[in-house]
Amino acid sequence: MNASPRTSATELAAGVRRGDWSAVELTRSALARIEALDGELHAFVEVQHRSALAAAAAIDAARQRGEPLGAFAGVPIAYKDNLALTGKRTTAGSRILQGYRAPYTATVLARLEAAGAVLLGSTNLDEFGMGSTTTTSVHGPTRNPYGHHLVPGGSSGGSAVAVAADFCPLAIGSDTGGSVRQPASFCGISGLKPTWGRVSRSGLVAYASSLDCIGALAHDPADLALWLDVVGGPDPADPTTRAAIAAIATQPPLEDLRGLRIGVPWQLNGPGLDDEVAAVAAAAARTASELGAELIECDLPGVEHAVPTYYLLATTEAASNLARYDGVRYGLRREAIGRLDSTTTQTRSSGFGLEVQLRILLGTFASSHEHAARFHARAELARTLLRARFAALFERCDVVLSPTSPIPAFAADAFPDDPLALYLCDALTVPQSLCGLPALSIPGGRSADGRPIGVQWTAPADHEARLLQLAAVFRRHTDHHLHRPLP
């Protein structure tokens, strides 16, 4: 019996435990597919052939000794290049971290390795996670397998492409304002942003600490449920982690959506949407109704301010977090004659890309003594108000439905010299990030020219199980997840 590149992570691990196939066979197959296809797509920054095969061989040896194997035994998994893995390069897509090798392993990766996962390598991203295109990386752009002229979304575009191209069944990303969900939508797969604090951020290169989440991308929502069960929960290395919740993967599946109340806020399902995107979201609502759910047309006032609120808060935190890259402690150093601050200026000017520099400048301005009350403080108030509005909405409904992105995947040159227009593409994903809510993008349909379009489901904090069970019902009753861009 042979595994195919489209076999789910859950099924692959079960097959390794039964002896249907070996971990080494799965790893060699994944590495061969990457070798054959990733030259055009550039999903990976670094493919770790030797360590991956060694990890797979150790799993096979453990099975031969009769030792119990973990939930992800032998499953090839990719991870975003802003997660630390001992001895491996961690660049966050930036020149300023050239030559840096991690002295420790991120908690999420350590827990995956303990569960038997085989880490294939690191995937490409927008520099420091700041972007929606995966084109700002120092390693070059990543291309969407649905069309090489299309962006794969960002900033976890490399991880999304790794799954969409069937290099691996599961990949790890990070989501600060939509960086897992938007690439999932653009690449026709599922992407989960958990509740803030559900998964430890220890070992994640920080962008905006009150917003950063580690998430995952897969074809099968069951793989996302298993992933969250394995990696979620408290971590002494991250004091912001939340208490453990009941396992999700072992919960009985729902047969339909009877009894589920789905909120459809008009602000997230009308203004500014591409016509085809709006049609896909409307079709998802009809399908949910046919499966027994109650649709509730509702209001989410204040959500129209989410984009400016997000970019004020995120850039303020980024300016603080990225201050550590000063040419002294680690990473790139550009010597300059004269004062020490000249070296720092030269290092940061040559080490950071233009988008990162822009966000640092915006954040520094917004948090300055002269302007903090006008910008940063008001943004915090707007976030508090939005949290209250979501809480009120969840008294009436169980989940909220919207598209994931206002538009399908676009060409890399679609927004020349217009960062504000590009920022508006985050209008449907930043509200959940601001409020720390779990959200899941699943395939919802395609445009007339074949570009994937995702629909997004949002739940109250700690209710990831509700989202993943809903996604499983949709998977059984629709066929959007079956389409693949590559043979």
Catalytically active residues, by annotation: 80, 155, 179
Q: Alpha-carbon distance 153 to 422, whole Å?
A: 11
Contacts of 128 (CB under 8 A, 6+ apart): 82, 92, 93, 94, 205, 207, 318, 322, 356
Q: Are 96 and 331 in contact (CB under 8 A)?
A: yes
Q: Is the peptide bond before 155 cis (omega within 30 degrees of 0)?
A: yes
Contacts of 317 (CB under 8 A, 6+ apart): 207, 208, 209, 210, 211, 363
Q: Alpha-carbon distance 138 to 127, whole Å?
A: 7
Nearest-CA neighbor of 297 among 257, 266, 342? 266
Q: Please tell me the number of Cα atoms within 13 Å of 342 on its side-chain side.
A: 5
Structure tokens at 323: 């201050």
Nearest-CA neighbor of 205 among 246, 163, 155? 155
**b/e sequence 114-144, b meaning 16+ C-beta within 10 Å:** ebbbbbbbbbbbbbbbbbbbbbbbbbebbbb
Decide: helix, strand or coil at residue 192.
strand
